Amino acid sequence: MDTTDNHWLKPNTAKAFKDQHKAIPYQELMEDTIAWCRPRPGERWLDLGCGAGQLTRALWAASGGQLAEIVGSDCNPGNEDLYLRQKLDPACPAERRRFVLCNFSDGLKVFPDGHFDGVVSGLAITYAEHKDPKTGKYTDQAYNNLLREIRRVLKPDGRAVVSVNVPDPNFVSIMTKSLGSAFRIRSAGKAFLNGIRMLYTGRWLRKEARSGRFHYYPATEVARRLEQAGFPAVRHRLSYADQAIVLRADREPANSSTVQAA
């Protein structure tokens, strides 16, 4: 796979998305995501495509600091320092949080079968990419394989809560609705600059999606693919200024009864 033009691997991309958690739409998305995670004491969780670790922080807080382990995994090495410097409340012992560099387009081979109680992922799985070496065309092979890999690393009663952008996402709308929060933070100028970088990245993402490289599917299609990957019960709802879909996929149908449909 050619990654020389992959913006997700560039340091500036990590910086651009570092402050997105301060925006009102992203706070909504985090709340909706964590509400469906329902972490319990003693569980092990994987934050897939973790970025700077905002979902890790929210998940840890929701558990009351009682998780046995939380692992952040990302393809961008620039996120490792951001992730490990993320302050968790309550304080997290170093041995219970770690970062694993992993390009999930190649699967999750670094993690054993049935290791995690839960997998959470924020606006990341869409970017699993595969180019057919014979035809030179992008396919959905890596995307479908990633869904199977998520199921593989989960315990028999585990669950995955993931968010994905809607088809043809309006990144301008997201930024516009975020501007109010940008001016309430300490460095509004830096936040605005990062917003411009996010718009630039967003334009690139949409262009690549049209080529088949990335996958902005409607909720019903993502749910269908999760079911094909072996998840018998999938629920979904809109969030993120209606520009993202949150889905919960349970390995066991009985577990889904604990989550009310939005």
- Residue 259: pLDDT band with limits 50, 70, 90: low
- Helices (H) and strands (E) counted in the chain, each on its own, are 8, 9
Report pLDDT for 174: 67
Q: Check if the beta carbon of residue 227 is closer than 8 Å to that of residue 252.
A: no
Say how many C-beta atoms besides its own lie within 10 A of residue 38's C-beta. Answer: 16
- β-pairing, 154-165 vs 244-250, is antiparallel
Tokens of 103: 């390009």
Query: 74-102 pLDDT, tens per residue?
Result: 999 989 999 999 999 999 999 999 999 99
Tokens of 20: 């997105």
Q: How far apart are CA 115 and CA 111, in angstroms?
A: 7
Query: 4-61 pLDDT, tens per residue?
Result: 577 656 666 545 555 565 678 889 999 999 999 999 999 999 999 999 999 999 999 9
Assess whether pLDDT exceeds 50 at residue 261.
Answer: no
Output phi, psi for 130, to 5 deg: -150, 130
Tokens of 169: 């996402």
Q: What is the pTM of this model?
A: 0.86
Domain extent listing, the chain: 7-250
Query: 132-186 pLDDT, tens per residue?
Result: 999 999 999 999 999 999 999 999 999 999 999 999 887 666 666 655 554 444 5
Q: What is the second-level CATH architecture of the domain 7-250?
A: 3-Layer(aba) Sandwich (3.40)
| Residue showing tokens 């387009």 | 105
Assess whether pLDDT exceeds 70 at residue 193.
Answer: no
